[in-house]
Amino acid sequence: MIYYLRWLISKRVRNAAELRHHAQKLVNHQKDLLSEEDAMAVQSEIDNLSNILRVDYDKVELSKAIKGLEKIGSNKLIEYKNPKARENIEVGLFAVAIAMSIRTFFFQPMGIPTGSMQPTLYGITEGELSSEEESITGVKGFFRGWLSGVSHYQLTAEGDWRLKEIEEMRPFLKFLKRQKFKFVDLNTGEEIIRDVIPPTDSRNKSLFLNNNFIKNSHNGYVYKNGEDVYKMKRESGDHLLVNRFVYNFRKPKRGEIIVFETKNIKSLQQDLFYIKRLIGLPNEAISIGDDRHVIINGKRLDSTDHPFEFLYSFDLNDENKFAKDSEFSGHVNRQGYADSKRNDGLLVPYRFRLFGDESFKFETPENEYLAFGDNTMNSTDSRDWGTLPGKNIFGKPSFIYWPFFSQPGRTRPHRFGWAFQ
């Protein structure tokens, strides 16, 4: 403790400590170049300086020790050029190595691209830009948008512009994309080009190729002065840390949210990572009731079973019988899915091949699992592609690190931290 007080008060002590550190580093690096006698002589001076600094402190003796180490160091050691820069590079490389080790063996960052786990975990969503959101501009608007994961996109005609062409998205630099809008100013005849960074969907496709986000997008349309070409917002998906080591010590439990590889799962694109909720364990008989509750070995899961308190908290007698992205709605089988689509007057695709109605039972093989999405009407999961090999389970989400601020348009606007099940 006394040494650290001296270090804070005395510049001479700090310089001596830095000299000792630097000399010790050179000795360690140059052991193969030094004779045993020279190495011992330099190490003796380093030890003497250390002893004076920490134990037998004396100003006169400290000055002698500094001069002694400087003299023998200049004779025996090879001084590197730009030692500060060299040390900074070493520290930087060490930090990178530590970060890569943490990512490889402990925690890996992951972004949620789709809405299959809503409203527990949110993927990328798009929508109209409200007048209140429009008013947040400048530096404040930029930082608030970044911290909340919300990006605003707006292009307004500055004259009477006739739309000439919307080009395909193209690469820009290494990680960005750009897209050109071409107009003709009807007052001047001048060609107007707006080269913008477009919002992209989960497949990295431009949303400006989707007519829902560009008003009157057909070529030849004339935008009046002050009319919006597009005005929208894009809310990022949750970014979280995946605990990679937890399943090295125990097996996954029912109800846990898991991350897994798609390797060797038929009908899924290979070498991707999916995130779902673990429902079925090995060697179980599983069915999905017509009331949207999973039945396992004859026992019906409900809101009293942890961690399904939220997932099964819906009211089956509600006027809105079928699920929305913003609500917890249990798990639907193919019959329930078909009924909901008929009510909407839409064609029913062939979905959920393993679970037709409550009478359909599926038995999970050894070391195989079933994983469902919380957004039951809009999730491609084990109801479609079958079982998940246990060896594919990669880890467990542990912490949402971004967005920091709330996203008011969502059912769970505040999600930073551990507040999810």
The gap from C-alpha 8 to its chain's centroid, in whole angstroms, comes to 41
pLDDT in tens, 278-299: 999 999 999 999 888 999 999 9
With beta carbons less than 8 A apart as the criterion, state whether 308 and 301 touch. Answer: yes
Type of residue at 304: T
pLDDT value for 193: 94
**Residue 369 banded pLDDT, cuts 50, 70, 90:** very high
The whole-number average pLDDT for the span 182-188 is: 93
Residue/partner pairs of 35-40 with CB below 8 Å, 24 or more apart: 38/76
Structure tokens belonging to residue 411: 């059912």
Return d(Cα 139, Cα 350) in angstroms, integer: 49
Q: Is the pTM of this model over 0.75?
A: no
| Cα pseudo-dihedral 250, 252, 254, 256, rounded to 10 | 110
The CA distance from 251 to 391, in Å, is 11
d(CA 199, CA 233): 9
- Statement: residue 345 has pLDDT above 50: no
Neighbours of 32 (CB within 10 A): 6
Q: Where are the beta strands (DSSP E) in 374-416?
A: 388-389, 393-402
Place of tokens 């957004």: 375
Per-residue confidence (pLDDT) for residue 88, from 0 to 100: 73
- Alpha carbons 237 and 395: distance in angstroms, whole number: 19
% of residues, the chain, pLDDT over 90: 24
Gap between the Cα atoms of 213 and 202, Å rounded? 16
Would you say residue 213 has pLDDT above 90?
no
Average pLDDT over residues 36-44: 85
225 Cβ contact partners less than 8 Å away, ≥ 6 residues apart: 157, 158, 159, 160
Cα 192 to Cα 419: distance, rounded to the nearest angstrom: 48
Among left, alpha and beta (phi > 0; psi -120 to 50; other), residue 172 is beta
Q: Report DSSP letters for 32-93, one per residue.
A: TTS-HHHHHHHHHHHHHHHHHHHTS--HHHHHHHHHHHHHHHHHHSPPPSSHHHHHHHHHHH
What's the rounded mean pLDDT across residues 243-264? 92
**Mean pLDDT across the stretch 51-62?**
81
Which pairing describes strands 107-111 and 362-363: parallel, antiparallel, or unpaired?
unpaired
Query: pLDDT: is 1 or 100 the higher one?
Result: 100
- How far, in Å, are 135, 176, 285 from residue 141 at the CA level? 8, 22, 53
The string of pLDDT tens digits covering residues 125-173 is 887 777 666 656 566 667 777 788 888 888 899 999 999 988 888 888 8
The pairing of strands 161-166 and 222-223 is antiparallel
pLDDT of residue 27: 83
Beta strands in 255-384 (DSSP E): 257-261, 273-280, 285-288, 294-296, 299-300, 362-363, 368-372
For the chain, which domains are there? 2-76 (1.20.1270), 125-235 (no CATH), 240-402 (2.10.109.10)
Is-contact 260 274, C-beta < 8 A? yes
Query: Cα separation of 403 and 309, whole Å?
Result: 25
